[in-house]
Chain A
Amino acid sequence: MSRLVGVLASLVIGVWLLLPASGHATDVERIVTPAGINVWYVREPSIPIIALSLGFRGGSALDPAGKEGLSNLAMSLLDEGAGDMDDLAFQEAIVDRAIQLGFRAGLDMLSVSLRTLSQNRDDAFSLLGLALRAPRFDGPAVARVKDQIQSVLASDEKDPNSIVSRSWFEAMFGTHPYSRPRNGTPDGVRAIGSYDLHNLVRTRLTRGNVIVGASGDVPAAEMARLVDLALADLPAEASPVIVPEVVFPTQGQLIVREMEIPQSIASFGLPGLKRHDPDFYAAYVMNYILGGSGFSSRLTESVREKRGLAYSVYSYLYPLQHAGLFVGGVATRNDAISESLELIRAELTRMAEEGVSERELANAKLGMTGAFPLRFDSAGAVADMLVGMQYEDLGIDYIDRRNSYIEAVTTTDVRLAARRLLDVDQLLVVIVGSPEGLADDD
């Protein structure tokens, strides 16, 4: 559980918030281990590092009502003692070997990342296996990590960025399990017991439920051996993942959460598209031009470059298993946030009505296809992508095909996707701050 201790100020500041990016198209091997586990693997012999990423289907959306935060707590505790090692012994075992082990609960998936120097690989994979198979959940460790999570929750209650995001997702998702804060609720975390934690491990962290991606310097057969070292002894089957589809609100809304801060922070957005929607790539290109391309996006041009109203204004597509979203954000001084939001509405409307020009589309395609290899510049980034490709069922040759999907998008596709997606009357806007001059306040 990492968090910012706020008093330690940033010492380097940039001209622009970096958008997520990162990799290189390479040969992906499909390995089936002796124990029968499928692994997608990219070998990179030049660097003595191994990265393993795992995804277990079913995430915090499965947390039982009343025990919100169970997935997050369980994942946070996997490296706090396992087998015959208590928390200190386990931590020393990984820290002293410079093994990097990360566990995270997403809405739809539980994720694990392991990075190790190749020379420590046997220890690293054995320790991972122990953490997944036999976590101890000792009382003192559970109490300590619960306290840490409670303090994060308390801090989130007062942090304007957390409030705006949480409020937006709650309003969008209504009573659907996606609406619950991923870290849980104070009552939910308090109510979680030892049985719940062990039960989650038994029913979710299984061989039948795992997706495996890896990149490293060892031959495929060695990689197979290592994966079995970690995963062969997991339980075979998981309980089924049953999550309902999201039913979105049919009305747009403006929600203001008053807070005495100099700058209002806003989240805005709409229902979007799921990953396998036929319009997904058209929408993806549309969003790149609208608010997904940093300096060159329309939102940045209008709100930041022309008028100096924000440091950061952006939008992105957020496809989940049971809902798709289009989400954006902006932060502007209180007396001008309404102007920023008006400009954003105008850009959404213009996109829905006019689409994009041939030149804009051509530039976007060059940018998006040209930048794709930047996503593969580290072993961890490659392993993560291999899990994502399997999770979304994109095919083992997706890396080779991906740019052709972008290339195939036409201005007509973009216009149709924009019209389908960007209905500004439906827009859900949440503002945290002391905004002034909102036209339809309340």
Chain B
Amino acid sequence: MKTCSRPTWAAAAAMMHIAMPLRFALGVVVAVTLWTSGISADTRAVAASGMFGAERYSLDNGLEIVVLPNHRAPIVVHMVWYRVGAADDPVGKSGLAHFLEHLMFKGTPRYPDGEFSEIVARNGGRENAFTSSDYTGYFQRISKDRLALVMELEADRMRNLVLVEETVLPERDVVLEERSSRTDNNPGALLGERLNATLYARHPYGTPIIGWRHEIEQLTLDDAITFYDRHYAPDNAILVVAGDVTGPEVLALAEEYYGAIAPRDVPARVRPQEPPPIAPRRVTYVDPQVSEPSISRHFLAPSYVAGESQHAVPLQVLAELLGGKSTSRLYRDLVVEQGIAGWAGASYRPMALDRTSFAVYLSVKPGGDVAAAEAALDRAIDDLLTNGVTEKEVKAARDRMSASVFYALDSPSGIANIFGNAMVIGMDTVDVETWAERVAAVTVEDVMAAAQYVLQPARSVTGHLLPSGSEQ
């Protein structure tokens, strides 16, 4: 109740780049001393004895492997993450990474179109795939005795995908329908696209993951094949297996199925970077489908690995105390006390390869004054920057975030997502294992330094989503 909207699950989930937008019920939260990992004798293994018991291996062809043993149920989650996402789309071909994600189900000589999914289904598996700005991932949830089967299928399509016009063109139409469902029928998503496009003057995070419609329409078979040949290779991939397995088991199977695929010397990801932000920006979008106004403000912010990354964990604490729950500053102030907003909150996604965003948002109560609501939001931020946060607030936020790690242990899929996302942006499993310790070390001064650094008007774009008839 009353946490608006945003998956701002503190800890574990907040470490993920974002909530899986599908209907991923990631139960998040976790406990600290649960598991000791099986320490592998294999020299390639770096076995951490953190709370998740993550084990890390690699193959000679460059494939990175993370194993997350969890013996609650006799099932596994098998995932392959490629270090390529929408922010790596060629200029003018937005949506290509996501389009290829769809096309990865179109068959190989060994398993022609449709067979991959049919085999997984027939074996009691569930599967899907996902694309973000930084990665593309494929996964199956299945009985543990079928792990070899899904590995064989996934390894096969890492190298042997066959694409032809007859399957590629209808799938492009599917993606256009997907764009309609997610974005074009949805005013909030339409504004979100424009906000990103404005926040990022140069960096491709400003381009929608699914692509601009006029560019999706022009994507070709050749585009897809070129992209696949360039980016899909073991040296550009991370295998994550969570569930009722051991590291040595997974390593042996991975050698067998993925080991024979030759590396491709995938070029390093080089993306254009943002110039220093110097001017606040505003975007207003009016749509007849909107029933009540809402305001959001996004600030260009460091990630775990980009920009002033020492602020990343303190910014997570800031997001939690500012707008994480019904007891947060923004909710108490704007919703409960002033009664000017219906909902209010904050969110921050530190798990990104390049600089990301810190956001605050509120919905204006029906009949409310949008300008007054924005002024109240400004005052709340000013108050925080001027008067600071209390030790009590910071401690409560830290404790909640630490606790959330325990809930994550309850969900193998959720844990696999966190580790996959971390690895794909160049972090190590140890960084995830020790996250709770870094949270626990955050001080009031750290939070304030991060807030002063990020919550500057010059770094921001403010979006207004307004009902028709309320044009300013």
What residues make up the interface of A, taking CB atoms closer than 8 Å to B?
A: 1-24, 44, 46-49, 76, 79-80, 87-88, 91-92, 95-98, 100, 102-103, 115, 117-118, 140, 144-145, 147-148, 150-151, 154-155, 157-160, 259-263, 265, 293-296, 301, 304-312, 331-333, 363, 366-374, 376-381
Contact = CB atoms under 8 A, between A and B. Distances in A.
B280 interface: no
Contacts of A19: 126
Interface string B7-23: 00000000001111111
B423 interface: no
B325 A7 contact: no
Given A88-B327, A98-B404, A312-B181, A377 B412 contact: yes
Contact of B196 (A9, A22, A46, A96): A9
Contacts of B23: 17-18, 20
Contacts of A369: 124
Most buried by A among B72, B345, B365, B366: B72
B126 A296 contact: no
Interface string B51-82: 00000000000000000000111110000000
Contact of B192 (A8, A88, A333): A8
A367 B122 contact: yes
B465 A7 contact: yes
B170 A48 contact: no
Nearest to B33: A48
Interface stretch (B98-106, B307-315, B436-444): B98-106
B123 A370 contact: yes
A1 B188 contact: no
B296 A3 contact: no
Contact of B336 (A21, A49, A144, A260): A144
Interface stretch (B172-180, B225-233, B258-266): B172-180
A301 B113 CA distance: 11
Interface size class of chain B, counting residues whose CB lies under 8 Å from the partner chain: 35 or more
B456 interface: no
B169 interface: yes
B2 interface: yes
Given A5-B363, A370-B125, A308 B185 contact: no
A12 B142 CA distance: 23
B403 interface: yes
Contact of A308 (B27, B169, B289, B404): B169
B343 A13 contact: no
B188 A363 contact: no
B251 interface: no
B308 to A, nearest CB: 22
Contacts of B208: 9
A25 to B, nearest CB: 9
Nearest to B117: A295
B359 A8 contact: yes
B411 A378 contact: yes
Nearest to A433: B185
Given A14-B128, A296-B117, A148 B170 contact: no
A372 B143 CA distance: 10
B436 to A, nearest CB: 12
Interface stretch (B41-49, B130-138, B447-455): B130-138
Given A5-B5, A148-B342, A12 B29 contact: no
B419 interface: no
27 contacts: A2-B3, A6-B290, A6-B294, A8-B192, A9-B193, A11-B21, A12-B130, A12-B209, A13-B209, A14-B101, A14-B128, A22-B25, A118-B31, A151-B292, A151-B363, A160-B185, A259-B289, A262-B185, A294-B126, A295-B127, A301-B114, A308-B177, A310-B174, A332-B177, A371-B124, A373-B74, A378-B411
Given A2-B1, A7-B465, A15-B128, A377 B343 contact: no
B409 A155 contact: no
B218 interface: no
Nearest to B244: A24
Contact of B121 (A6, A160, A363): A363
Contact of A3 (B4, B118, B183): B4
Given A262-B184, A296-B117, A46 B71 contact: yes
Contacts of B289: 158-160, 259, 261
Contact of A79 (B1, B118, B192, B366): B1
Most buried by B among A14, A160, A296: A14
A97 B407 CA distance: 13
A305 B102 CA distance: 11
B403 A371 contact: no
Nearest to A93: B327
Contact of A48 (B2, B349, B406): B406
Contacts of B254: none
Most buried by A among B173, B185, B292: B185
Given A8-B188, A158-B288, A374 B17 contact: no
A11 B349 contact: yes
Given A6-B188, A22-B25, A307-B173, 16 more contacts: A8-B359, A10-B189, A14-B21, A19-B126, A20-B23, A76-B1, A98-B403, A118-B31, A148-B343, A261-B184, A263-B185, A295-B121, A311-B181, A331-B181, A333-B177, A380-B27
Contacts of B126: 18-19, 21, 294, 371, 374
A259 B186 CA distance: 13
Given A17-B22, A91-B327, A308 B121 contact: no
B5 A92 contact: no
Nearest to A260: B288
Contacts of A4: 5, 188
B366 A151 contact: yes
B294 A11 contact: no
A255 B93 CA distance: 39
A147 B413 CA distance: 36
B5 A379 contact: no
A18 B128 contact: yes
Contacts of B118: 295-296, 363
A105 to B, nearest CB: 12
Given A12-B17, A366-B124, A88 B141 contact: no
A100 B345 CA distance: 18
A368 B173 CA distance: 30
B366 A154 contact: yes
Contact of A2 (B5, B25, B185): B5
A404 B385 CA distance: 63
Contacts of B175: 311
A368 B125 CA distance: 9
Contacts of B4: 2-3, 5
A132 to B, nearest CB: 15
B126 to A, nearest CB: 5
A149 to B, nearest CB: 10
B410 interface: yes
B350 interface: no
B203 interface: no
A274 B363 CA distance: 40
A5 B294 contact: yes
B464 to A, nearest CB: 9
Nearest to A150: B366
A88 B332 contact: yes
A12 B20 contact: yes
Contact of B410 (A47, A262, A307, A332): A47
Contacts of B413: 377
B171 interface: yes
Given A18-B22, A100-B29, A7 B463 contact: yes
Contact of A95 (B170, B326, B359, B412): B326
Contacts of A332: 177
A377 B380 CA distance: 41
Q: Which 9 A-B pairs have the closest CB atoms?
A: A6-B188, A370-B124, A308-B173, A9-B192, A98-B403, A308-B170, A10-B21, A24-B73, A263-B180
A235 B46 CA distance: 57
Contacts of A259: 289
B291 A16 contact: no
A118 B33 CA distance: 13
